[in-house]
Amino acid sequence: MPEGSGVESALWDDWHVVAEIAELTRLGRIATQLLGFSLVVELDNRSVIPSVDLESGGVAPAKVKYGYVWVCLGTPNRDIVDFPECADRDRWIVNAGSFGVAVSGLRAVENFLDMSHLAFVHAGYLGEEPHTEVPKYKVATLPDGGIVATDCKFYQPLASPVATEGFDVDYVYRIVRPYTIMLHKANPIDPSRSDMIALFVQPVSEERCVVHMLLAYLKDELTEAAVRQFAQMIFNQDKPILENQLPKRLPLNPRAEVPIRADAASAAYRRWLHEGDIRYGAIPHDLGV
Amino acid sequence: MIKLYDFELSGNCYKLRLLMGILGVPFERIAIDFYPGREHKSPWFLKINPLGQLPVIDDHGFILRDAQAILVYLACAYDPSGLWYPRDDARMLGRIAMWLGCADSITATASAARLHDSLFYDFDIDKCRAGAHALFRVLDEHLWFAEQEGNDWLCSSKHPTIADIACFPYVMLSEEGGVSRLPYPAVRRWTDRVKRIPGFMVMPGIFGASPAASE
């Protein structure tokens, strides 16, 4: 842990999205917060690499990837997460926007992982009554650390902007960093291929985050705008639910919030955060229930 | 068919979808990439609305901007009952105009707070929230007295008007800007009544009334 920051190295020494490059290009300068620290991202006219000034007076390394500006407040201990889909030429690679949410980013990741809310919060799109049961799925640990949930199936009346009828959609979730989750869902036109949605969650503070969405959708008959609008609509259905979760930080003690079978992935996520001693945005075990 | 230049997450666009849905008026949505694309500030859209704002409607070549103005137009043109905008009742029209003005003030405060928190607009957040609370207090008191007299709606009538539709969305989305509605019980009862108007529809951030409660 770096001296004085109080934030665990797994987060402090990793890359986080802090801005969208298109927005930064338009504004020239964006002031934001990461892990409780204020910073300013600026774009020099002659450079595509933004400079990041910290309130402490220092500077931080920055990179541009997948349409976003990534910053590391400490010493980078690994690369930015790799998304091979983004190299596919038959996909739209869409930055669907960045939304401020008044809740811990860990709650946002967990909500994205949850299938049992789909039929209620996203009724008519990602689920509908009476198809509310989440069939049993598999949860495992990823070789490089993280959680993967496979064999997830859920009936969705309008799974994507190109869907014309309801079907059982195959999902694979991967949590690759404490604040990064990706979902592969079967494409409605070619079920052998997947559309990809990634959430890069920027921990602004322990109880506030910015959700940056990256989508890699097969172009099909879609437009980029349609992909973006669909994602924004779905995410903003979740937002009020997220902001009403209490406590705003994610409790890691398994007795704090009682899980059911459908929460197996969420339980594994919380356990993995606990084992990795991720505390920022969480209520750790040792702080009680 | 009426064309609506629309953004899914806009409360001002939603209120037009809501009224047209309730009145059963078919319309075509033309989605504008408001965020992050800022298409409402693009040269082609500025030709349609030089103010660069949503919503705008195009009713067979008749183009109108401003959510409140469009509500007036839609009710006059498409509500045969005349109840949503009673054209012959001077007092009702006065009251409706007053609450349409209030709807704009709610946009300038509660909606601005939401844009600040959610989409990072550079507004004075404390001022936005204080302004919203001041309006909600007035709204709550007004609705409480209306209820005492047996009136469910903003304009002291037995039937809702476009004033209810105009004020509803950004009241309902206020928590996204950190403005709680807990201190305003009469406002919460009124928003529940709006949700039970036949033909009511939702938008992201606004859920329907629970089926159990309506039985």
> Contact B117/A102, CB-based, under 8 Å?
yes
Judging by DSSP bridges, how do beta strands B2-6 and A282-283 pair with one another?
unpaired
Topology (CATH) of B90-202: Glutathione S-transferase Yfyf (Class Pi); Chain A, domain 2 (1.20.1050)
Determine what percent of chain A is predicted with pLDDT higher than 70.
96
**pLDDT at residue A45 in the model:** 66
Domains of chain A from N-terminus onward:
9-71 (2.20.25), 84-287 (3.90.380.10)
Rounded percentage of chain B residues whose pLDDT exceeds 90: 93
A277 phi, psi to nearest 5 deg: 55, 45
Chosen from A27, A117, A129, A239 to mutate, greatest number of chain B CBs within 10 A: A239
pLDDT given at position A4: 58
| CB A72, CB A14: distance < 8 Å | yes
Residues of A in contact with B180 (CB under 8 A): none
**A22, A97, A236: residue with CB nearest B204:** A236
- Please report which confidence band the pLDDT of residue A132 belongs to, taking 50, 70 and 90 as the band edges: confident
Q: Is a pLDDT exceeding 60 seen at residue B214?
A: no
The residues pairing with B156 across neighbouring beta strands, listed in sequence order, are: none
Please write down the HEC assignment for all residues of B28-68: EEEECCCCCCCHHHCHHHHHHCCCCCCCEEEECCEEEECHH
C-alpha to C-alpha distance for B155 and B91, rounded to whole angstroms? 9
Range from A34-48, B48-62, B186-200 carrying the lowest mean pLDDT: A34-48
Residue A287 has pLDDT above 70, yes or no: no
**Dihedrals φ, ψ of B86, to 5°?**
-70, 100
Greatest CA separation found in chain A? 57
Average pLDDT over residues A24-53: 83
DSSP result, B64-125? EE-HHHHHHHHHHHH-TT--SS-TT-HHHHHHHHHHHHHHHHHIIIIIHHHHHHHH-----H
The percent of residues in chain A predicted with pLDDT above 90, rounded, is 56
pLDDT higher than threshold 50 for residue B120: yes
Q: Which residues in chain A are closer than 8 Å to B37, comparing Cβ atoms?
A: 225, 228
Q: Is the pLDDT of residue A26 over 80?
A: yes
CA A51, A55, A60: angle at the middle one, nearest 5?
A: 35
> What number of other Cβ atoms are within 10 A of residue B3's Cβ?
15
| Yes or no, beta carbons of A239 and B118 under 8 Å apart | yes
Closest CA to A71 of A210, A173, A248: A210
Alpha carbons B204 and B196: distance in angstroms, whole number: 17
- pLDDT tens-place string over residues A185-227: 988 888 889 999 999 999 999 999 999 999 999 998 888 888 8
Query: B205 vs A20: CB contact, 8 Å cut-off?
Result: no
Are A233 and A123 within 8 A, CB to CB? no
Rounded-to-integer distance, Cα A66 and Cα A202, Å? 15
Chain B residues lying within 8 Å of A235, measured CB to CB: 204
Section A176-183 average pLDDT: 96
How many A×B Cβ pairs under 8 Å? Answer: 54
For chain B, say whether A26 makes contact (Cβ under 8 Å): yes
Average pLDDT over residues A249-266: 88
Q: Is A23 on the interface with B (CB under 8 A)?
A: yes
pLDDT range class, residue B83, cuts 50, 70, 90: very high
Per CATH, B2-78 and B90-202 having the same topology is answered no
- Name every chain B residue with its beta carbon within 8 A of the beta carbon of A97: 35-36
CA pair distance B210, A123, nearest whole angstrom = 13
Choose the closest CB to B205 out of A95, A100, A240: A240
Contact B186, B147 (CB under 8 A): yes
Sequential DSSP letters for A51-102: EEEETTS-EE-EEEETTEEEE-SS---SPPPP-GGGG-TTEEEEEEEEEEES
Domain locations in chain B? 2-78, 90-202
**pLDDT for residue B43:** 97
Q: Confidence class of residue A94 from pLDDT cuts 50, 70 and 90?
A: very high
Q: E-strand spans in B127-174?
A: none
**pLDDT value at A3 more than 60:** no
Angle in degrees, CA B174, B177, B182, rounded to 5:
45
- pLDDT for B186 beyond 50: yes
Query: What does the pLDDT average to over A163-188?
Result: 91
- Whether the CB of B30 is below 8 Å from some CB of chain A: the reply is no
CB contact A99 to B (< 8 Å): yes
pLDDT-based confidence at residue B62 (cuts at 50, 70, 90): very high
Mean pLDDT of chain B: 95
Mutation site, A94, A236, A245, A246, interface B, largest B CB count within 10 A:
A236
> Does the pLDDT value for residue A184 go beyond 90?
yes
Please name the fold of domain B2-78: Glutaredoxin (3.40.30)
User: Which residue type, as a one-letter code, is found at position A21?
Assistant: I
- Which of helix, strand or coil describes residue A14? coil
Stretch A90-95: mean pLDDT: 92
User: A240 contacts in B (CB within 8 Å)?
Assistant: 175-176, 205, 207
pTM: 0.91
ipTM of the complex: 0.86
Residue A154's pLDDT is what? 84
| Nearest CA-CA partner of B104 in B181, B163, B33 | B163
Of B175, B214, B171, nearest in space to B193 by CA: B214
Residue A232 has a pLDDT of 94
Averaged pLDDT for residues A152-165: 85
Better-scored residue on pLDDT, B78 or B210 = B78
Name the one residue in this structure whose structure tokens are 């949860």: A139
